[in-house]
C-alpha cells in the first residue's frame, strides 16, 4: 500500500545512535510521514540474506514506543517480528533500542571500541512503503558522557552519502528497503586500506588491534583478486557491477566468517591470519583470509545479482527454500581459490593440494551418500545451518561438494570442447541474462530457476551434460573426478593407508576430558557402541586425556581389541573396541607433464605459464 495523501517523493527516515556503549544499545528512531491509514505495520526480518537460518532479530529490541505527531499512541505486537501502530493522522515516529552484542557478521555489535550493524538487526520495515527511498542519519556517540573519547570515530559503509562526507557521520540514502538492509555499517577507529580495481574505488576498514599490519601487501593482493573477478565476468569492458566496494573486517583472536552484500562484505578473521610487515611468505592463515575475501567478493555477481528465483524478492518473514545453493555457494567456493591461483597469489601445486583437501573432507562424511547437494541446499535452514553431532553421518555440504560439482563441470567442459569453452562461459551467460541488469531501474529483478540453470550448461558448452549434472546435483554417488582430471594431465591418486588404528571419531576437549564430538558411521567406535557425548576415561586401564588419545592408540595394531571406559551421563560404561584403520578414501592431486594436450588445457584453466 502506498500513501494516498502525499504521492510526491517521500522518504522513510531513520536515525541511529550508539546510546549506551556499556549496555550495548543502539537507539533508533523511525519516522513515517504518511503512515497506513488503517494502522501502520512494521517488522524486523526473521533472517539475514546470505545466512540461511531463522534468527528472529526482533528479539533484540529492548524498548519500543510510538508517537503520532508527538503524542504517544498504542503499538500492538502482532507476532514475534511485527507491530501495528494505532491510526495516526500525520507523521508517525517509532522509537526503539536494539541490544547489539553479537560478535558475528550477521547481526550487530557495540561497545566502547566500535559499533557494527546490519540493517536487518536495526531498521524496522515499513509495510507497504518498502519501495520509497530510505534515509538514515548515522549519529556518533559523542554526547554520551561529554568527553571527546569518540571524536576520532569514523564510518565505513557502502551506503550512498546524502548529507555526509566520506567516512563521516551524517545522512545516507538507499533507494528502497531491500537496498537499505544490504549495506552493513561499521563505526570506530578502524585502519583504512584503499585501492582501485579496474578504475573502481575499493577499501578495507579493519577494526581491532593488528600490530605491524602489512597494509601495502593487503591492498596489492586484494586488487589482484578483484581485478581477476571483474575481468572474468566482463572480459571486454572490465566493468565492475558497483560504483565502489567496501570490505568491513573485524579482527579477533580466533574467528573466521563472512557475509556478502551487493557492494560490500562483512568479515571476521583471526589476527594471526593477517600479513606482518617484512614477512613475505604466504602463510596458510593469510591464504585462507584471501580466499574468504575472494569468496565474498565473487558473491557480488553470484547471489547478489544472479539470484535464485525465490530470492527475487526475499521473503524476510520466513524460510526461502531453494535447491540451488550448490550453484550460489558451491560455485562461489570453487572460484574463490581458483581466482587466487589465476591471480598468481598461489602456485599450481598449492592449488591442487587445496583441491585434494576439499575432496578428502567431503569423502570423510557418510552424509554424502545420503543427501544430495540439491537436498542439502533446500534443507539448509534446518540441517546445514543447524548441525549437531550427527551431521557428518547425515549432511553433505553444498559448499564443499558444490565446489567439486563446479570443478567436475569445468574440467568436463574444457576437455569436451578442446578448451574452447569452460565454466567461465556459463557464469558469463548467467551474468548477462540474469545478473547484469538485476538492480537496473526498469528491470524486474528476476531470478533464475533450476531448469534454466541446468539448460544453460548444454547450451553454452554444446555438450550433453544433463546426465552428469543429474548425478552430481541430485545424486549421492561420489563424483567421477579422477577421469575428469586425467584429461587435463592431473593425477588423482589414492593415499596408501597408514597401518594406524583409529576410532573414527571427532573429539573435543572439555577441561582435561576427552569427549566424543561425533562418531563416524561404520568406524570402530560406532561398532563398539560408543556415542557422541561420551567422555573417554581409559583405554586398557590407562587414562585418556584431551591430548593423548592418538599416542595411546599408536601402541596397538589394527585388529587388536581394547577395553574402553567412558562416562555417559556420569555413569561408567565399558566397551570392547576392535581397532580398525580409518576407512575414508583419501587422495593426492598432482599435475603431470603428459599428455601434452592435457597439460595445455590445465595451464589455460589455471592461467599458469610454467
- Which residues of this chain interact with Zn ion, rule CB under 5 A? 329
**Which CB atom, from 39 or from 288, has the smaller least distance to Zn ion?**
288
Q: Which residue, 329 or 410, has its beta carbon nearer to Zn ion?
A: 329
Q: For every residue of 372-408, which 3-state class applies, written as one string?
A: CHHHHHHCCCCCHHHCCCCHHHHCCCCCHHHHHHHHH
* Coil, strand or helix at 187: strand
* E-only strand ranges, 87-151: 92-99, 108-110, 114-117, 125-126, 134-138
Q: Nearer to Zn ion by C-beta: 325 or 411?
A: 325
> Least distance from C-beta 336 to Zn ion, angstroms?
8
Provide the minimum distance between the beta carbon of 400 and Zn ion in the complex, in angstroms, as a whole number. 12
Measured from the CB atom, the residue of 330 and 501 that comes closer to Zn ion is 330
CA distances from 350 to 161, 282, 353, 390, 412 (A): 42, 11, 5, 32, 22
Quote the longest CA-to-CA distance of the chain.
83
**Backbone phi, then psi, for 312, in 5-degree steps?**
-120, 90
Nearer to Zn ion, 13 or 51 (CB): 51
Residue-by-residue DSSP string for 583-601: -S--EEEEE-S-SHHHHHH
Contacting residues for 133 by C-beta, under 8 A, at least 6 apart: 9, 11, 12, 173, 174, 175, 176
Q: Which is nearer to Zn ion, 172 or 384 (CB)?
A: 384
Q: Which residues have a Cβ under 8 Å from the Cβ of 249 and sit 6 or more positions away? A: 204, 205, 206, 207, 267, 268, 269
Q: Smallest distance, Å, CB 302 to Zn ion?
A: 9
Output the smallest distance, CB 50 to Zn ion, in A: 7
- Tell me how far, at minimum, the Cβ of 303 lies from Zn ion, in Å: 7
CA 548 from chain centre, in angstroms, equals 35
Residue nearer to Zn ion on the CB measure, 329 or 521 = 329
The least distance separating Zn ion from the CB of residue 259, rounded to whole angstroms, comes to 8
Among residues 229, 233, 157, 239, the alpha carbon closest in space to that of 200 is found at 239
Give least dist CB 95 to Zn ion, A: 36
Q: In Å, what is the CA distance from 278 to each residue of 125, 214, 285, 344, 398?
A: 48, 8, 16, 20, 38
In the complex, minimum distance from the CB of residue 295 to Zn ion, in angstroms, rounded to a whole number: 5
How far is it, in rounded angstroms, from Cα 138 to Cα 455? 46
Please report how close the Cβ of residue 90 comes to Zn ion at its closest, in angstroms: 44
Would you say 273 or 504 has its CB closer to Zn ion?
A: 273
Cell of 266: 562483512
Residue (329 or 504) nearer to Zn ion, CB: 329
Alpha helix positions (H), 183-214? none
Residue 73, beta-bridge partner list: 66
Task: Give me the least distance between CB of 391 and Zn ion, in Å please.
Answer: 18
Nearer to Zn ion, 229 or 461 (CB): 229
Distance between CA atoms of residues 566 and 464, nearest Å: 54
Amino acid at each position: 500500500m502506498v500513501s494516498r495523501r502525499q504521492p510526491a517523493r517521500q522518504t522513510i527516515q531513520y536515525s541511529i545512535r550508539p546510546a549506551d556503549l556499556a549496555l550495548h544499545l543502539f537507539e533508533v528512531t523511525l519516522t513515517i510521514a504518511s503512515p497506513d491509514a488503517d494502522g501502520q505495520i512494521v517488522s524486523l526480518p526473521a533472517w539475514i540474506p546470505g545466512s540461511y537460518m531463522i534468527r528472529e532479530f526482533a528479539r533484540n529490541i529492548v524498548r519500543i514506543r510510538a508517537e503520532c505527531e508527538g503524542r504517544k499512541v498504542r503499538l500492538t505486537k502482532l507476532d514475534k517480528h511485527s507491530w501495528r501502530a494505532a491510526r495516526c493522522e500525520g507523521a508517525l515516529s517509532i522509537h526503539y533500542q536494539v541490544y547489539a552484542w553479537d560478535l558475528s557478521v550477521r547481526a550487530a555489535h557495540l561497545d566502547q571500541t566500535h559499533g557494527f550493524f546490519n540493517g536487518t538487526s536495526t531498521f524496522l520495515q515499513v509495510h507497504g512503503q518498502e519501495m520509497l527511498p530510505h534515509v538514515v542519519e548515522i549519529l556518533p556517540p559523542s554526547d554520551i558522557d561529554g568527553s571527546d573519547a569518540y571524536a576520532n570515530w569514523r564510518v565505513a559503509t557502502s551506503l550512498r552519502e546524502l548529507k555526509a562526507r566520506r567516512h563521516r557521520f551524517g545522512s545516507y540514502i538507499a533507494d528502497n528497503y531491500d537496498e537499505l538492509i544490504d549495506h552493513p555499517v561499521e563505526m570506530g577507529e578502524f585502519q583504512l586500506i584503499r585501492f582501485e580495481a579496474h578504475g573502481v574505488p575499493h577499501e578495507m576498514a579493519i577494526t581491532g588491534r593488528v600490530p605491524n599490519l602489512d597494509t601495502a601487501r593487503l591492498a596489492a593482493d586484494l586488487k589482484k583478486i578483484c581485478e581477476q573477478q571483474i575481468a572474468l565476468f566482463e572480459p571486454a569492458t572490465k566493468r565492475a557491477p558497483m560504483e565502489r566496494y567496501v570490505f568491513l573486517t573485524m579482527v579477533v583472536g580466533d574467528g573466521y566468517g563472512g557475509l556478502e552484500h551487493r557492494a560490500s562484505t562483512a568479515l571476521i578473521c583471526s589476527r594471526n591470519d593477517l600479513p606482518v610487515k617484512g614477512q613475505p611468505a604466504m602463510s596458510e592463515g593469510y591464504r585462507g583470509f584471501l580466499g574468504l575475501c575472494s569468496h565474498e567478493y565473487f558473491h557480488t555477481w553470484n547471489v547478489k545479482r544472479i539470484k535464485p528465483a525465490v530470492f527475487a524478492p526475499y521473503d524476510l518473514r520466513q524460510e526461502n527454500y531453494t535447491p540451488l545453493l550448490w550453484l550460489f555457494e558451491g560455485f562461489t567456493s570453487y572460484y574463490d581459490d581458483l581466482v587466487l591461483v589465476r591471480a598468481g597469489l598461489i602456485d599450481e601445486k598449492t592449488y591442487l593440494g587445496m583441491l585434494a583437501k576439499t575432496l578428502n573432507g567431503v569423502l570423510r562424511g557418510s552424509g554424502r551418500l545420503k543427501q544430495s547437494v540439491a537436498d542439502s541446499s533446500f534443507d539448509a535452514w534446518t540441517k546445514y545451518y543447524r548441525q549437531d553431532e550427527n551431521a557428518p553421518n547425515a549432511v553433505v555440504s553444498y559448499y564443499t561438494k558444490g565446489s567439486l560439482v563446479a570443478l567436475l563441470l569445468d574440467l568436463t567442459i574444457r576437455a569436451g570442447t578442446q578448451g574452447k569453452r569452460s565454466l567461465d562461459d556459463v557464469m558469463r551467460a548467467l551474468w548477462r541474462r540474469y545478473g547484469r541488469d538485476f538492480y537496473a531501474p526498469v528491470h524486474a529483478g528476476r531470478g533464475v530457476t533450476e531448469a534454466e540453470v541446468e539448460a544453460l550448461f548444454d547450451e553454452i558448452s554444446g555438450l550433453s551434460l544433463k546426465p552428469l549434472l543429474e548425478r552430481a546435483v541430485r545424486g549421492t554417488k561420489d563424483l567421477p573426478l579422477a577421469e575428469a582430471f586425467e584429461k587435463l594431465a592431473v593425477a588423482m591418486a589414492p593415499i596408501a593407508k597408514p597401518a594406524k588404528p583409529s576410532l573414527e571419531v571427532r573429539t573435543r576437549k572439555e577441561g582435561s576430558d576427552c569427549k566424543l564430538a561425533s562418531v563416524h558411521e561404520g568406524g570402530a567406535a560406532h561398532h563398539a557402541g560408543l556415542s557422541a557425548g561420551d567422555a573417554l576415561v581409559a583405554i586398557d586401564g590407562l587414562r585418556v586425556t584431551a591430548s593423548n588419545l592418538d599416542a595411546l592408540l599408536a601402541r596397538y595394531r589394527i585388529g587388536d581389541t581394547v577395553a574402553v571406559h567412558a562416562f555417559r551421563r556420569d555413569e561408567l560404561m565399558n566397551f570392547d573396541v576392535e581397532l580398525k584403520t580409518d576407512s575414508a578414501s583419501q587422495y593426492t592431486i598432482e599435475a603431470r607433464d603428459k599428455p601434452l594436450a592435457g597439460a595445455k588445457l590445465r595451464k589455460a584453466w589455471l592461467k599458469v605459464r610454467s
